[in-house]
């Protein structure tokens, strides 16, 4: 009877003083954000976006004319709102590739190369590479007469992938593409990639 009375009394006190009980629960789950133990936050400003372009060969270079340095970008050190950037989390990569003058040349994958995060284990490697495979079928055709690609055979590819890649603030991130070349014909291709993500600040 005594135990039942004690339980009933505790329940009654809890009902009569919910604010005190809630304060106790809140104190138990409180997270402290200090300079010694910062809690990562996502910048509430504009999401990070970058467009990258890599091309090789006379036709692709003349047609797409990738601007100088467009195959790389540097992760910002400061966000648009002025917050210090810890790293960039990339959550989507999508784009298109084309090869020219050689239907047997196949673009296989695109990839982004940058540094390891500080808490990663490189195991002897000096950079981290994140692959985005091209999984859809290619579409081949011959361009119509007129313009730079007049009567040029072309094969187009598209790719897109939700990701969770991370790069450090200040790191250079570079786009590359991988292809299969059978040993004959030209090596002439270009790839565009749109990258979207969020700057993690502290």
For 91-133, the pLDDT digits (tens) are 999 999 999 999 999 999 999 999 888 777 778 888 889 999 9
Contact yes or no for 108/121 (Cβ under 8 A): no
Contact yes or no for 189/60 (Cβ under 8 A): yes
Residue 20's pLDDT is what? Answer: 52
Give the CA dihedral 163, 168, 172, 173, nearest 10 degrees: 0
SS3 labels along the chain: CHHHHHHHHHHHHHHHCHHHHHHHHHHHHCCCCCCCCCCCEECCCCCEEEEEEEEECHHHHHHHCCCCCCCEEECCCECCCCCEEEEEEEEEEEEEEEEECCCCCEEEEEEEEECCCCCCCCCCCCCEEEEEECCCCCEEEECCCCCCCCCCEEEEEEEEEEEEEEEECCCEEEEEEEEECCCCCCCCEEEEEEEEEEEEEC
Contact yes or no for 173/114 (Cβ under 8 A): yes
Q: Per-residue confidence of the chain (202 residues) as pLDDT tens digits?
A: 544 545 445 554 555 555 555 554 555 555 566 656 665 555 444 689 999 999 999 898 888 888 888 999 999 999 888 889 998 999 999 999 999 999 999 999 999 999 888 777 778 888 889 999 998 889 999 999 988 889 999 999 999 999 998 999 999 999 999 999 989 888 999 999 999 999 998 6
CA distance 190 to 84: 35
Please state the pTM of the whole predicted model.
0.74
The residue behind tokens 């809690």 is 39
CA distance 88 to 106: 31
Q: Report the chain's mean pLDDT, rounded to a whole number.
A: 82
Residue 111's pLDDT is what? Answer: 94
For 72-81, the pLDDT digits (tens) are 999 999 988 8
């Amino acid at each position: 009877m005594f135990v039942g009375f004690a339980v009933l009394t505790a329940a009654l006190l809890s009902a009569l003083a919910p604010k005190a009980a809630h304060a106790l629960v809140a104190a138990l789950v409180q997270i402290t954000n200090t300079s010694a133990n910062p809690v990562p936050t996502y910048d509430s400003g504009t999401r990070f976006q970058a467009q990258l372009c890599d091309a090789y060969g006379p036709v692709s270079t003349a047609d797409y004319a990738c601007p100088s340095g467009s195959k790389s970008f540097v992760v910002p050190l400061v966000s648009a709102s002025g917050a210090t950037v810890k790293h960039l989390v990339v959550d989507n990569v999508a784009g298109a590739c084309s090869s020219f003058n050689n239907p047997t040349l196949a673009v296989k994958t695109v990839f982004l190369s940058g540094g390891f995060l500080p808490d990663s284990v490189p195991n002897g490697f000096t950079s981290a590479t994140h692959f985005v495979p091209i999984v859809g079928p290619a579409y081949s055709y011959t361009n119509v007469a007129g313009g730079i690609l007049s009567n040029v055979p072309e094969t187009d590819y598209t790719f897109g992938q939700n990701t969770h890649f991370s790069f450090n603030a200040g790191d250079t991130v570079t786009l590359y593409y991988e292809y299969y070349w059978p040993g004959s014909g030209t090596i002439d291709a270009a790839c565009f990639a749109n990258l979207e993500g969020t700057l993690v600040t502290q």
